[in-house]
Structure 1
Amino acid sequence: MKKIGFVGLGNMGAGMAMNLQKSGFQVLAYDLDKDKIKELEKEGIQDCESIKEVTEQVDDAVITMVRNQAQTEDVIFGDNAITSADNHNVTVVVMSTLNPTIMEDLEKKVSAYDLNLLDAPVSGSLSGAEKGSLAIFSSGAQEIKEQLKPYFEAMGSHIFDLGDKIGAGQAAKLANNLLLGINMVGISEAVKFGNSYGLDEEDVLDIVEVSTGNSWAANNWGEIKEYKNNGTLDAIYKDLTSVIAESTKNKTFVPVSGLVLNVLHNSMDSEDNSNK
């Protein structure tokens, strides 16, 4: 049984790790939430005391699925982290959503430790993580992508090979989440407009579902309405901020991105004020 490392067992990570375990791989896991680990141990996932311990036991890869750049760098370069382990045949698989610039910087830093890096963010929400139906956007060395493909197939049903350049996977994920943000704002305004003429939200959504305005956001509006600050809404806001920063760097004109970011910002402020 091949051993695969997994760091970050939040809502998405837990489902992904479980599907790896169910597919016949031995998952060696680390998370600060030990209660979460205890739940997953019942399914065969093995708890490790440190990321270093995870890394020293795996056959070929450690997956990181944490929230942001700081956490990702801590997993790779921190105390008792991946780079502190005596195992240099390991690929660090970043499945978190960061941005292309961050991934390019990580590639340079990781190469100094004779480790490999693969860029492989995911899309498909919590339901996709639990069902093993995620879309995975992979970029990096072709040989490594082929080697790790069985892991990806255990977690996703749509595996995209986006070439050798680290950061391309992140660019694809950000492009997708830009469109998600646009659709979220669009559905919200469509429902509001319909309401002003006495149309119920359910009627508007039923019409959109069979018409040209349909989208994943429309079909999953019930789930999206539950997005909260300090959770998925924060993640989307972070991603749109990255889109604008990367577009500024590349001199790419994306005016709608800024508008959607402002709408989300105001929405998040309203939620914060209502909770005070």
Structure 2
Amino acid sequence: MKTRDIAEMLILAALWGASFMFMRLAAPEFGPVVLIELRVALAALCLIPVLWWRRGQIHLKGNWPALAIVGITNSALPFCLLAFATLYVTGGFASILNATTPLWGAAIAWIWLGDRLSGSRVVGLLVGFCGVLLLVWNKLHFSAGGAALAVPAALLATSMYGFAANYTKQRLTGVNSLAVATGSLICAALLLLPAAIALWPQHPVSARAWMAVIIMAIASTGLAYILYFRLLARIGPAKVMTVTFLIPLFGVLWGALFLNEQPTLNMLAGSLVILLGTALAAGLVSLPGKLATARSG
């Protein structure tokens, strides 16, 4: 990759990693649903002018049903679930769980689309999910400090990301990627709007929470989507996927710097195992010998 590509990858990881910090700041005051409605609606408003400028709106015609499904499974529901999770776990912890997305993507492609997995990728799935167990084993309780609901919510969110990626590949291949991003965010905003109106907070919301949601929508969603799809077109999906490895680093870093979140040894160990499993499952690295080439499915 060129220096410019590496720089944009780092910026993208920093923006996406920061979204967990912003959710930690804003979710307690807005609530998960209202927060995410504001996030996707403001992000869509940022992307619509860019889409029209690039004349990509033609790709929206005839694709709204598929875009609605992507909007539900790639934005509306997973964003809400992750915002809910950040009410109980740190932003750094949630960002590490977010790194399981490629594991779910590979597993769903194997089960649903019949993709054949090499031995290395099967081992990667097993290693990755063992890393999840290592990360969460002491959090699955309801007493103080527990996250018995937050952890399943975050993992359900990342499984939805995995489904959305495979669904997009199957149903929206050839559709302008910026149109997919913009159209799916519009659908997500419209779908969440009734619930957001019903759940709008009755108490005053602080300026800090408003600032967090505005920056998250503009920078961590709108700008991040533009960077992501530009990189996707320039360097391809395999290389762009490596951003997954950087997001937890920034998620933990921003939490430590701005929210005084202290990473634990358990978090670091779980993160390393998850990232190793992700690298194997995504085919970015392979095991040596016959196991690496053995096929499953």
- Mark the structure with the bigger radius of gyration: 1
Higher relative contact order structure (alpha carbons within 8 Å, sequence separation ≥ 6): 2
Higher helix share goes to which structure?
Answer: 2
Q: TM-score, normalised by structure 2?
A: 0.28
Q: Which has the higher strand share?
A: 1
